[in-house]
Chains A and B, each alone.
Chain A
Amino acid sequence: MNGVHDMGGMHGFGKVEPEANEPTFHAPWEGRVLAVQRAMRFTRAWNIDMSRDAQERLPAQLYLSASYYHRWALGMERNALEQGLIDADEFAVGHALRPGKPVARVMTMNDVGQAFTRGSFSRPPSQQARFKPGDRVHTKNINPASHTRLPRYARGREGVIEALRGCHVFPDSVTTGGGENPQWLYTVVFNGRLLWGPNVDPTLTVSVEAFEPYLEPA
């Protein structure tokens, strides 16, 4: 979707402000949000793509004004409601009013280690890769109202395949009920001036990680 989360190339957000000696969490609730997210993903009630999708669908003003972990919390509320794991009246009172629904698994002390190492997103391909390194490609001009990982600044542009990264779970499909629908993933590199025009640094190149359905031969 063409949301405010898709920030590449926007002006007006000001300077980057690094914080010296930044703590891991700025308040204890931030750590709880992170931990709840890890534990809920373990239940397989939702996955990383559904988390991102839920945050992107927050009202634009809220997305921009909420801090990172606050956004995570709001996204999780949405995921839990949409998956039928929590009902709205329970949020209203801050307690469970009925028993939980079955989930695939619940994280215990024994498998907590699995919260920390990322799983693999590789899946067996159903067909051969259409492109190879060195191929010139065009990114499609798409504007889906649903979740996609092709940023606006990289749509409808010509670039070059730099690397093939394997066949991965396709987020655009996962978030629209189409299942994992694995697709080949490529690093596609663009000349900065093709993206931004003549006033940009002439040495700049930018790459995105692009799924094959985003691409056509140039």
Chain B
Amino acid sequence: MSTDHHEHSELSETQLRVRALETILTEKGYVDPGVLDLIVEHYETKTGPHIGARVIARAWVDSEFKAALLADATKAIAALGISGGVGDHLIVVENTPGRHNMVVCTLCSCYPWDVLGLPPVWYKSAPYRSRAVLDPRGVLADFGVSLPASTEIRVWDSTAETRFIVVPPRPAGTEGWSEERLASLVTRDCMIGTGLPRRPEEISP
């Protein structure tokens, strides 16, 4: 790069560097730009927490499914026929009135992409990775969530290739709701354990 180095923002330098990396790898025949386009499109349009929400809603209406999910999530979810399937080693943990679960990866940013899509920036950031294991109630407060002092907190540090999602309790006042409607109450954060499901009055009828 020339002497105008300092006129570039960090972003544009990164942009140029990434372009160079892709260019060299393409010219050497290791990657195909058309394939890269498809990968980007997939993550922008197909994955996301709507997949996990569908799983949670089913668990809320079907206790046999929930039991199967808690026993072997990858296998149980395969029966839902989700396109592309869900990878191995997915573990589902259940919140109860006496216990709240929270998922973190302190060493990098391991996250259940197959069911939640790509992780949000905060999940990958130093504040979350550092504090979740030491001060989970402080982290919950950053999300505006406060739990009774008697509720046990369990933090799951994703230090291997196992991946975790949380099943929150089904919100009250949802008797007789369809799975689809229930899924609209399931937020990404409640499946990570940094949030609670929406209450029925929070969504439009």
User: Are chains A and B native binding partners rather than an unrelated pairing?
Assistant: yes
Which A residues have a C-beta under 8 Å from some C-beta of B?
5-19, 22, 24-27, 29, 31-36, 38-40, 43, 45, 48, 52, 55, 64, 68, 70, 73, 76-77, 80, 85-86, 90-91, 94-96, 99-101, 103, 106-109, 112-113, 115-122, 149-151, 153-154, 165-166, 168-169, 171, 185, 187, 189, 195-196, 200-201, 203-211
- The answer to whether A18 touches B28, judged by C-beta atoms less than 8 angstroms apart, is no
Tell me which residues across on chain A come within 8 A of B37, comparing CB atoms.
35
Q: What's the minimum C-beta distance from A113 to chain B, rounded to whole angstroms?
A: 7
> How many A-B pairs fall under 8 Å by CB?
270
Nearest to B148 among chain A residues (CB) is A203
- The answer to whether B109 touches A16, judged by C-beta atoms less than 8 angstroms apart, is no
B159's partner among A9, A76, A122, A151 (CB-CB below 8 A) is A151
How many angstroms between the C-alpha atoms of A204 and B136 in the bound complex?
Answer: 8
Q: Does B150 contact A (CB under 8 A)?
A: yes
- The answer to whether A118 touches B106, judged by C-beta atoms less than 8 angstroms apart, is no
Q: What's the minimum C-beta distance from A53 to chain B, rounded to whole angstroms?
A: 10
For chain B residues 7-52, which have a beta carbon within 8 Å of chain A? 11, 14-25, 27-32, 34-40, 42-44, 47
Q: What's the minimum C-beta distance from A206 to chain B, rounded to whole angstroms?
A: 5
Tell me which residues across on chain B come within 8 A of A6, comparing CB atoms.
106-107
How many angstroms between the C-alpha atoms of A73 and B16 in the bound complex?
Answer: 11
- The answer to whether B130 touches A7, judged by C-beta atoms less than 8 angstroms apart, is yes
Q: Does B198 contact A (CB under 8 A)?
A: no
- The answer to whether B155 touches A205, judged by C-beta atoms less than 8 angstroms apart, is yes
- The answer to whether A7 touches B129, judged by C-beta atoms less than 8 angstroms apart, is yes
